[in-house]
Structure formats: C-alpha cells, structure tokens
Structure 1
Amino acid sequence: METKIWKKTELAEAAKVLKKGQLVAFPTETVYGLGADALNEKAVSKVYTAKGRPSDNPLIVHVAHPQAVQNYAQVSPRAQKLMDAFWPGPLTIILPVKPGQLSEKVTGGLQTVASRMPDNALTRELIDQVGSPLVGPSANTSGKPSPTIATHVYHDLHGKIAGVVDDGATQIGVESTVLDLSTSQAAILRPGKITASQLETVLGENVDTSEHHVAADEAPKAPGMKYRHYAPDKAVYMVKDEDWTQAIIWAQSQLEPVGLMLSDQMIEQHQLAGMDFVWPLGPNGVSAATKLFSGLRNFDDQKDVKIILVAEMSHEAANAAYNNRLAKAAGQQYFDAQEMMEF
C-alpha cells in the first residue's frame, strides 16, 4: 500500500479514503492520531493491525462537536461542565457507553468509552467531512514514542495506512489528560496538559490523582495504563538533577556515543551547548513535553547510540505528563553510576 502525505488543501481526499474504511493519520494539538471511522468495525480492526496494538486496549473517539458524544455515551452534568470548559482541547473523558452504539473494538470490551474533541480545526473539519467520529490512538507502532510531526507517522506506518494529513508539528507534544467520569469519584488515568487542579476548579470536587495499576488479566480503561509505551528501541534512563555531573562524566567515558536529553539550564551549566548527541528540552517541563518524543526518536534513529539519558523534571503538577511519559519510556529506570559500570 502506498502511504500518501496530504496537504491541508487535500483534506477532501483524506475524508474520502476514511469513508471507504481505510486508515488516515491526522494532526491534533497533542500528537498525531491514527484515524478510522469509529462506526465501521472493520476499519477499526485495521487500527490494531497497523499499530500492532493489543486488542483489549480501548481507543479514544474523536468528535468535531461536543453534542456528538451523546449519540453513543451517557453524558452526565459534570461531563458537560468539563466539555464546556476544556473542549476543544487536550482532555479525554471516559463515560458509560450506550448499549449497542459502538463496537467492542472501540471500547476494548468495556462498558465505557473515551472521547475527546481535538483543538485542531483541520481535524475537526476532517471529521465533519467524514460524517462520523474517528477513533484516534497515536499514529505510531504500538509502544514506541508518539509522533509529533507527519514524517514520524510515515516512518512507523508507511505501507500500512492510506496516508497522513500534514499540519506541521503538534503544539503540546504529549497525549491528552484522561479523566474517568464513569465512577463516583473523578480519577485521572493518564496525566496530560490539563491538571487536576484545573479539573477540580470546574467540577467543584476532588479528583483522584493516585497512580492506577492494571493487572495482567485486566483490561485497561485508557491507553498507556498497561503496556510499555513511548519507548524507543534504545535503553532509556531517567536522570535526577543531582546526578547529571556523574552522568555526563560516565557518558563521555563510553566508547560509543550516549544521547543526552536535558534542560537548557543544565546544558549551560555543564557547558554542553552545540555538542553532538545533546538534545535540548527547553527551559521547563512544558517545553520538555513538546520535545521528548522527537528527541527519543532522534537518538533511536542513530545507529551508534545505544543508551539515552533523559532529565527528570521536578515533581509538580505542570510536569506530571512529561514525567509520566518519560518513566514509561525508561521502564522506571534511573541512572545509577555504580550500576552503569556494567556497560
């Protein structure tokens, strides 16, 4: 299959292909999504095949208008409050699904469905032209770093999907906040740009932010909860601020280059500006989130690099999404000078 990269002016062709049951990747403000008609079970099945995604991992349904969610989900008053406040935007809401309205391929066999309205006018227009909501998991090989530009999608999925609509780089760089409203207490299942305090202000109630673990025989309610995610093929280690001096000394002692991903301040402090194998993450966790996946992909594509060291950010709400994705990419592993002597 030839995979096309469509310009904004070619949106009608992309919509036509989606109507025929093919797969098309689309841009959002977070990452690129892999689109299929959410009401076409055969098309949705192709998403799992293209990504190599476990079939019990539910898909997020993307809509162009908030009222569209009522066609397939039970929208509560508190869900409506959040839609009014944050849509379009990087918030996914999990609600009870209306019986018989969506395939189990979409819901992962659960009695709930995840929905969001992306803050990308081009994609909302695409959904309108298709005339159906679109499922939209990240448009990458399952488990790998999510795509933030169209060429990332092409790298992973060329020959497996019909095409990708190119709208440049995404603005946020990590996936949406996932909020479970199917239970009595609202709970964040995946952190994103929208924080618990923002949600609590609108809801007028506490939001559970505890880490949710999924058993081996349990279906996850949201993407990214159960399986290894966001990881390149190379080994990734998180580095705490106080360990960077040792980490840099260790990296410079290796025969093969080591990828270093760290903040602008750390680059300046350790006089690394302009050096090879250094990927700047910007001044803070927000900028780091936009650059994390592209940096991991950059070093993953460099044959000589076997190890990537990445800066952990301070543990505050604004950095939660970045630290969450990094921890999953690193398999929770931290740089330890003694242990790294094995390499």
Structure 2
Amino acid sequence: MTALSIAQNEETARNEACKVLSEGGLIALPTETVYGLAADATNGKAVARIFEAKGRPRFNPLICHMSSIEMARRYVEFDDTAQQIADAFWPGPLTLVLPLKPGSDIHSLTTAGLDTLAVRIPTGFARTLIEQYGRPLAAPSANTSGKVSSTTAAHVAADLGSKVELILDGGPAVIGLESTILKPTATGVELLRPGGLAAADIEQVMGMSLVRNSDPSAAIEAPGMLRSHYAPGSRLQINAENAGAGDAVITFADRVLPGQDTAALVLDLSPSGDLREAAANLFDFMKRADAATQSQITVVPIPPTGLGEAINDRLKRAAAPRP
C-alpha cells in the first residue's frame, strides 16, 4: 500500500492513480461525500477486486463516477427529468440511476447485472482524476461491506490496509455522508437513498415531491439499500432518552442525556445544532465511539429535517439486526 498526499503534489497523485487504475489496481479516492474504493468500471477483474476487498455481496450494484455529463451520456440514457436534475445538481453529492445504453462497456459486475447504472459526477480532485484517466470509475465507499464508511485516509488504511494499492489523502471529507440517490421513472422521481444533498433542496428546485419507498423488502436497485449497513462493531441504540454506564454517547445540539456522566465517551455531532456539521462528523464519531466502549453506542434523537433525513437513515441501518 502506498499513500500520497494530494495537497503536497496533486499532479503526482493523479499520475500515480492513473497508473494503478490502468493496471487493474484499486485506489482509495477522496470525494466530497466519503472516501471511495475505486477501479476502472470497464475492467471486470478490477471491479471484482472491489467486491473481494470489501467482502461486498455481488447483487449490490456500484456507483459509477464520471467526469462530465458528456461522459455519462456515453453509458446511460437521459430523459428530460434526468437532464433537469443533472443540470441543477452536478457535479455534487447526487447519484442518478438511469437506463444503461445497449452495448455499453461498463462491466456487468458494476451494475450487478441490472439494466440500469448508478452514475454521479463528483467535485474536486476525483473529477479531475477521472477526466485525466478518461474512463469512469466504479467506486463504493472505501470500507469493509456493511461497516462504517471512511471519511479520512486514516480510516481507509485502518480498515482495508494492504487490500488497496494506493490511498490518496485529500483530508477529511467535507460532507461526510454518501450521495443522495434518485431514480427518475414514468410516474415521478424515486428517492432510493437519502444522502449528502437534502431531499427538500431537490424538491424545492425541481418543484415536485420525491417518491419515498419504505418497503424493507424492496429490490436492491442502488447502493445503501440493504437493511443492515454502516454498522459499527458495538451495539447501537438510536433515539435514546438515557445513557448507561460505560456507553459511548453521541449527542446533538448540546443535549445532555440522563446517565451520560458515567459514559465512556461523549461526542456532540454539532453543539450548535447544525445538521451539516453533524453529517460531516457522523461516521468519524461512530468509529471513535466504537473504539471507546465495551457496552453500546447511544445516540440521541436527530431532527428528521434537511440532512437529518440522511443521518437518521444511516443510524437506522447501523442499528438494524445484523445478518
């Protein structure tokens, strides 16, 4: 495993990443959402290594990262609604699940055999790297499948270690939650996964309500739809009203739980009650809490508005019974 700081020499980092990708290797790639475990989406052997490194079930499709709408158009079909959404929110923390074009050279492992492809255009270094490489990158979160997502290069190194050839260190992820995933249909736009772009912001710009499917048995059409996901090693109690001795407490907006004076650790996602700050801290705090307790991680209720919808989605899946 090699680690390179983007801040020290971005050109060197891009060149080395392109070399690893062209040889079928894996890189840990910083994005504005979380760190991704990236491989050439057209190289089946490379994509298979993503599933192997993560221990990810192969029925769970991957997001394909593009450098531009023009690149995305080579692989997927855009209708008017998809184009409107893309124009409004790309590049950024939004993924669209769109029909795959016939004859596309995106490997079927990337799509989990579906006739759709989850695509997004990231910001910053990730986008310029893809532009230089010239082909899309399949890049789920850079962590063991089902576990807490990585928001720093150190998280990736601690989790995946020698399973990845190159870790690109771009500092802490700014948003800290995976992308929001939408699927335009003939009858509306489905919210498949809430994420780093608040659903309410999308609805305001689009002038329509998103369709939310709460059926836990719904078919897996995109990443992040498994019932149990984002899980720490410790038991997680959400919407808690009190804390037990030795718990690791994750609070919000300076709230104090009865019993937290005997906690092993207390972390406040945002003392000021800022949901953007809370989102950016969530996965890092879950990892720190997991390391601090032999009991359980106890989390206070988080408001369900704005990015709180995505935060609560992650917490609910993290607290779900493990398979």
What TM-score results when the alignment is normalised by the length of structure 2?
A: 0.91
Percent of pairs with identical residues: 38
Partner of residue 43, structure 1: 46
Report 1:50-89 matches (<5 A).
50-89=53-92
The separation in 1 between residues aligned to 2:238 and 2:259, in whole angstroms, is: 20
Give unpaired runs (5+ residues) of structure 1: 334-343
Is 1:301 the counterpart of 2:304? The answer is no
Matched residue of 1:317: which SS? coil
1:227–1:324: structure 2 CA closer, same or farther, 3 Å change rule? closer
The match for 1:22 is 25
> Which of the pair has more CA radius of gyration?
1
Q: Show CA shifts across 1:70-127 (max 9, x none).
A: 11100112111111111111110010111231221011111111111112x2111211
Judge conservation of contact 1:64–1:117 (CA < 8 Å) in 2: yes
* Contact 1:93–1:115 (CA under 8 A) maintained in structure 2: yes
Distance 1:227 1:313, change over 3 A: closer
Q: Which moved more, 1:141-150 or 1:95-104?
A: 95-104
User: Does the CA-based 8 Å contact 1:96-1:182 persist in structure 2?
Assistant: no
Amino acid paired to 1:117: I
1:327 corresponds to 2:316: yes
- Secondary structure in 1 aligned to 2:212? coil
Q: Secondary structure at the match of 1:225?
A: coil
Distance 1:258 1:270, change over 3 A: closer
* Alpha-carbon distance, 1:67 to partner: 1.3
Report the CA distance between 1:25 and its aligned residue.
Answer: 0.9
Deviation at 1:213? 2.6
Once residues 171 and 35 of structure 2 are traced to their aligned partners in structure 1, the CA distance between those partners, rounded to angstroms, is: 10
2:265 aligns with 277
Selected match of 2:190 from 187, 190, 198: 187
Query: How much does 1:183 deviate?
Result: 4.5
Alignment check: 8 A CA contact 1:94 1:182 kept: no
C-alpha deviations, 1:288-330, integer Å up to 9, x for none?
Answer: 221111111112234x523110122122233100010011111
- Letter of the aligned partner of 1:160 in structure 2? K
Q: What is the alpha-carbon distance in structure 2 between the residues aligned to residue 131 and residue 204 of structure 1?
A: 35
Question: TM-score, normalization: structure 1?
Answer: 0.86
Look up the match of 2:3. 5
Aligned residue number for residue 173 of structure 1: 176
Confirm or deny that 1:90 pairs with 2:78. no
1:115-152 per-residue CA deviation (whole Å, 9 max, x = no partner) reads 11112x21112112221110110000000000000010
**AA paired with 1:233?**
G
Instruction: Name the residue aligned to 1:229.
Output: 229
Q: Would you say how many aligned residue pairs link Structure 1 and Structure 2? A: 314
Structure 1 Cα separation of the partners of residues 85 and 47 of structure 2: 27
